[in-house]
Chain A
Amino acid sequence: AQTVTQSQPEMSVQEAETVTLSCTYDTSESDYYLFWYKQPPSRQMILVIRQEAYKQQNATENRFSVNFQKAAKSFSLKISDSQLGDAAMYFCAYRTPSGGGADGLTFGKGTHLIIQP
């Protein structure tokens, strides 16, 4: 079974600074997808960024980028120019493409990100 580990229960960063959230995963699959989701206090899970395992290029979405190290099974999220609105729980998630998506997402325990004004 796949597992996702987020070793940082909580992180704090000054507004406008850069922060990196860590995620490692364990799988025997060679093809899979990795995601970072954000969950603010409203409970609404919002996709931040997605990475396909077959792509060597790291995904980037505006201020959000990932460092995907397939051999190390590491998938960290970098947030640049942190803003107050970035404060939330961040979840790393894994999924295989097999079965048409029937296996759902496997989530890490989450990292609570605090933005200091």
Chain B
Amino acid sequence: GAGVSQSPSNKVTEKGKDVELRCDPISGHTALYWYRQSLGQGLEFLIYFQGNSAPDKSGLPSDRFSAERTGGSVSTLTIQRTQQEDSAVYLCASSLIGGAYEQYFGPGTRLTVT
């Protein structure tokens, strides 16, 4: 079946602009995760959605970051007023509910802020 998809694959934006990154999880996966991968910080967990429940936002690096998940499926990560330090690869993963279940990752969106 189809895996996790993310769009766009690459995004170049000017400092101060807003960007939206999209994630389509595997059908039937109620858990969805966002991670950020950068050279300086490695892989960081950002946010988690379980079904339609309100997400735990404590991992988001600043209040410029927000995420939503519509209808328990597609998720959008929005970064407002982008800064150069936001440049990174943003990875999305989905899984069944529960810590033992494998997280399936998408190919990521490479964000470059100029």
- Contact residues of B between 73 and 97, Cβ < 8 Å to A: 89, 91, 93, 95, 97
A54 to B52, CA, bound (A): 31
Q: Please give me the residue from chain B that is nearest to A104 by CB atom.
A: B45
Question: Which B residues lie within 8 Å of A98 (CB)?
Answer: 99
How many chain B residues touch A (CB < 8 A): the figure is 26
Determine the main DSSP class of B at the interface with A.
Answer: strand
- Measured CB to CB, the nearest residue on chain A to B105 is A45
Q: Name the contact of B48 in the complex, choosing from A42, A43, A104 (C-beta under 8 A).
A: A104
State which residues 21-54 of A face B: CB under 8 Å.
32-33, 37, 42-47, 50, 52
Q: B99 near A101 (CB under 8 angstroms)?
A: yes
Tell whether A50 pairs with B102 under 8 Å between CB atoms, given A100-B97, A102-B48, A110-B42: yes
CB neighbours (8 Å) of B42 from chain A are 107-110
Chain B residue at minimum C-beta to C-beta distance from A106? B45
A107 to B38, CA, bound (A): 12
Is B59 at the interface (CB under 8 A from chain A)?
yes
Cross-chain contact A97 with B105 (CB below 8 angstroms): no
B contact residues vs A (CB 8 Å cutoff): 31, 33, 35, 42-43, 45, 48, 50, 56, 59, 89, 91, 93, 95, 97-103, 105-108, 110
Chain A residues engaging chain B, CB cutoff 8 angstroms: 32-33, 37, 42-47, 50, 52, 91, 95-110
